[in-house]
Amino acid sequence: MLKITIKDIAKLAGVSTATVSKIVNNKIDDVSDTTVDKVRKIIKEKNYTPNYLARSMVTKKTKTLGLIIPDIRNPFFTDIAKGAEDRANELGYSIFFCNSDDDLDKEFTYINSLIEKQVDGIMLAGAAKRDKDRERKININIPIISVDRNAYYKGIKGSIEIDNYEGAYEGVKHLISKGYERIVFVSGPLDTKPSKERLRGYKEALIDAGRKIDNENIIVGTYERNFGEKIIETLDYSLENVGFFCGNDLIAIGLIKSLKEKNYKIPEEIGVIGFDDIYISLLISPSLTSVRQPSYKMGYESIELLIKILNNSNEEKNKKTLKTRLIIRESTNRISLDKNKKDK
């Protein structure tokens, strides 16, 4: 029971494969109505669907994209993936899904395998640690859109980012306005551009509030919950009235967990704020104040942009920066001591 091909249809209809092909692809200016009807009927009867492989061989388009994210278990990336998938689906594309585990080697391997499978383009949220030289050497002749994270491949044709600087600035400003004394930045790896930008926002907000920047208050680790849980053990100053600005929600959630175990009161004694606003942040207690990223939208727009580039409607603007929004919840929402106001 072999699959039915265009030849079978052609034979049954008594026409050439060229004619059938035209009808299948709706290029029927050239075909009489009677023929169209006849062939369509047979196609339906026989349940014929064209073989995409064969089609792709000649058209050089697979209508297939690659999506690489670092961590499918982080809801932030899951949301990006969902946005990407939805838009791809709407536009008739399929997605090869790859999870790099934040490992650059694995990312390389996936990129190569995607190229072999002839994807039309790649959407990449890169692994945290980069290697400019190696990346630049890889010969990529299909378009890549980078999302969230930075990368240096030659093929990169555009990017979707968020305004990490602004997001961090707002967050830190909020902590200060709530009267927290010492503002600690618990950062993810500084190899990533988002982390760097957030650090910049953190510093600016402090300076603008007339505070000093103290390296003791900048802690660098990974974007994982584990890291958050371990932090307080490493601090040798009093946590009284400290405001923690965390690199992402997972870190913040880990931190809160360990703070609660030590019986600190949040937000009364300690304030915690995260980044991403994954949906878990709403569920933990105290619920987490967080800088919301439009993650779904980031995925959606990335695919949008990628496909625009594929159809080389030469986009003038291949870089897009989306806005964050501070979502205030319990973890910082103490009856405001409003130190800030008093100071003024």
Question: Site residues (CB under 8 A) for a second copy?
Answer: 1, 3, 47, 49-54, 56-57, 62, 64, 67, 72-73, 75, 78-79, 81-82, 85-86, 94-99, 112-118, 139, 141, 225, 253, 257, 260, 279-280, 283-285
Mutual orientation of helices 6-13 and 17-24 as an angle, nearest 10°? 110
Q: Which two tokens stand for residue 206?
A: 């402090």
Distances (CA, A) of 215 to 5, 195, 209, 275, 306: 68, 15, 17, 21, 40
Nearer to DNA, 34 or 215 (CB): 34
Contact indicator for 279, 75 with CB cutoff of 8 Å: yes
Nearer to DNA, 3 or 344 (CB): 3
CA distance 161 to 147: 6
> Which residues, in sequence order, are CB contacts of 336 under 8 Å at separation 6+?
177, 178, 179
User: Could you say which of a second copy, DNA, none residue 253 binds, taking C-beta under 5 to 8 angstroms by partner kind?
Assistant: a second copy
User: Could you say which of DNA, a second copy, none residue 226 binds, taking C-beta under 5 to 8 angstroms by partner kind?
Assistant: none
CA distance 167 to 150: 17
Least CB distance from residue 100 to a second copy, whole Å?
A: 11
First to last CA, the chain: 83
User: Could you say which of DNA, a second copy, none residue 336 binds, taking C-beta under 5 to 8 angstroms by partner kind?
Assistant: none
User: Could you say which of DNA, a second copy, none residue 301 binds, taking C-beta under 5 to 8 angstroms by partner kind?
Assistant: none
Least CB distance from residue 269 to a second copy, whole Å?
A: 17
User: Could you say which of a second copy, DNA, none residue 321 binds, taking C-beta under 5 to 8 angstroms by partner kind?
Assistant: none
CA distance 171 to 289: 9
Q: Footprint of DNA on this chain (CB under 7 A)? A: 2-3, 5-7, 14-22, 24-25, 27, 30-32, 34-35, 48, 50-51, 54-55, 57-59
